[in-house]
Chain A
Amino acid sequence: MKVLVAVKRVIDPNVKVRVKADESGVETANVKMAMNPFDEIGVEEAIRMREAGTADEVVAVSIGAQQVQETIRTALAMGADRGIHVNTDETIQPLAAAKLLKAVIEKEQPQVVILGKQAVDDDAGQTGQMLAALLGWSQATFASKIALGDGEAEVTREIDGGLEVIKAKLPMVVTTDLRLNEPRYASLPNIMKAKKKPIEEMTPADLGVDPAPRLTLVKVVEPPKRHAGIIVETVAELVDKLKNEAKVI
């Protein structure tokens, strides 16, 4: 069985993001990039499936400019078997990503497709759901546990206030939540091996998909600065301020 994982290159979550002066987006020049943490969890889960013998091949797919190959290499260094790079300089919105992934999936025919529940750059949280809908496959989002069975999978989902366990037929789309697993490091020997693993390149045109954005980004602004607090003298003063200034009680 083949598992396909989507990996997105995002600004390293440890970097303090700066908004561009013209409010058209955030600064990415000379900024440290990394694999979306939820996708790392996806790669880890796929490798564990292969190690457990339930999967026999793990394919990592990324969409974007030339540099996303570095992110694919990271997935290969963690243990994925081969990579697919959909090469485009276009800004990719969730629907375009879902369409491109669908086209790749139709060629590759995996039984399980794993995505992050969201990417930490735009936090859209839509690609997995859109992909499942376009494919007409089952979907299990926010997974904290995946148990693969014969032609089906039992997935534990993190939902508000608890967990939900669902069972669905393969093929299916799964999106990862934080507690699914703890991703491994890319070891030096595996980094060396990854250099020899193949990355297949294709373009949106090859896949017959127009990736142009459907939504217009109006502007990106910094969150408002927090103002310093004040110290009130008495409880009565606090109640008064909450009632008359903040008007919350």
Chain B
Amino acid sequence: MTMELGEDYPEIREAVARICENFPGEYWRRLDAESAYPDEFVATLTREGWLAALIPAEFGGSGLPLRAAAVILETIHASGCNAGACHAQMYVMGTLLRHGSKSQKERYLPAIAAGDLRLQAFGVTEPSTGSDTTQIKTRAVRDGDHFIVDGQKLWTSRALQSDLMLLLARTTPADEITKRGNGLTVFLVDLTEAVGKGLEIRPIDAMINHNTTEIFMDQLKIPADSVVGEEGNGFWHILDGMNAERILIAAEALGDARWFTAKAASYATEREVFGRPIGANQGIQFPIARAHAETEAADLMARKAAALFDAGKHCGAEANMAKMLASEAAWHAGDSCFQTFGGFAFAREYDIERKWRETRLFQTAPISTNMILAYIGQHVLGIPRSY
């Protein structure tokens, strides 16, 4: 197993940064104000093959390791853009790839790679069970060669911009299972079929422009062959994908952190009050320096997690720690950038307040900091459980 230091994948960084140059702050500010989807940005990334980076070549993608995808997303965020509108198109297919049947893979993956089919909605979180994923209540009951689904999902991002949704639902009642985590099943739901026929999507007005929604399912009828992997083992199937997601989210947070720090360092050098650059004051300089050190440390953990993932080894602890450390480094970098800019940080045209709102998400989703600490405490260190 190897882990590269420094600027790995320089050609990817350069090419992605090149695209991002054409999507400057004003583009994102306009979308933010209108809660609109970045159609042109996503179409460009799709057309240029970036969202198919992880899909194996035999299905029309580039078959790159997770680390390459992390570099793509980090670059997008370090350039001031946001990949939240389309990052899931890169990795949600991982569950299909690892656990789907041959015919499912052949049917969907090439179209996903080409960008003709969007699989970028992942419905797990529910209003009443939250972080306690194994307790979800959405029920799928077998009915001949169909399943009938009833329940509600919350915070299902990009459902309105997706053709397919990966859905986690209960197929065995909670009181009949023998092991926590069993009894859940992953379904691949064709949203183009389901909307209006038992499935309703409502956008949520949220702090950031994340195109997130709530989904209501009432007697939704889906074909039995939409089960991905084994019935009852859905929770275990999505765990792998969740590690990948955490590593990629860590990369996005690292990109944000680098954007904030670069911005802060340059402003601290240029802005003069009291007759000298504000950065010469250690009250300004040190928080920026500290955030940089935290970013570099989190970057190492994120690379370690990706190296383990790409080598097919266990990476739950590292993926979680990388996500936590990177989200906190980004938050600290954001805060020091905010403080460095004085009153100007509040002016939207500097993009700092937008990036600051955006990067706050990473401490909450896809998994909140406390749940990571609980994982480390309970699973890594063996301390008694809170749940």
Contact = CB atoms under 8 A, between A and B. Distances in A.
Interface string A68-79: 001001100100
Contacts of A191: 11-12, 15
Given A185-B19, A188-B62, A192-B62, A77 B48 contact: no
Contacts of B15: 74, 77, 185-188, 191
Given A185-B48, A187-B49, A192-B62, A14 B21 contact: yes
Nearest to A14: B21
A34 B49 CA distance: 21
A186 B15 CA distance: 6
A187 B11 contact: no
Interface residues of B, number: 16
A194 B52 CA distance: 17
A189 interface: yes
A70 B10 contact: yes
Query: Which secondary structure dominates chain B's binding surface?
Result: helix
A77 B21 CA distance: 18
B14 interface: yes
Nearest to B60: A189
Contact of A187 (B14, B21, B48): B48
A109 to B, nearest CB: 30
Query: Which secondary structure dominates chain A's binding surface?
Result: helix
Contact of B53 (A14, A77, A186, A188): A188
A77 B12 CA distance: 11
Contacts of A34: 14
B18 interface: yes
Interface string A163-204: 000000000000000000000011111111010000000000
A74 to B, nearest CB: 7
Interface in B175-215: none
Nearest to B13: A32
Contacts of B52: 188
Interface residues of A, number: 15
Contact of B48 (A73, A188, A194): A188
A191 B48 CA distance: 10
Nearest to A16: B266
B62 A189 contact: yes
Interface in A1-44: 14, 34
Interface in B8-35: 10-12, 14-15, 18-19, 21
B18 A186 contact: yes
A191 B72 CA distance: 13
Interface string A186-226: 11111110100000000000000000000000000000000
B11 A77 contact: yes
The 3 A-B pairs with the shortest beta carbon distances in the complex, nearest first, are: A188-B49, A187-B48, A186-B15
11 contacts: A34-B14, A70-B10, A74-B14, A74-B15, A185-B44, A186-B11, A188-B12, A188-B52, A188-B62, A189-B62, A191-B12
Interface of B: 10-12, 14-15, 18-19, 21, 44, 47-50, 52-53, 62
Given A190-B49, A191-B12, 16 more contacts: A34-B14, A73-B11, A77-B11, A185-B19, A185-B44, A186-B14, A186-B15, A187-B47, A187-B49, A188-B12, A188-B53, A188-B62, A189-B49, A189-B62, A191-B15, A194-B11
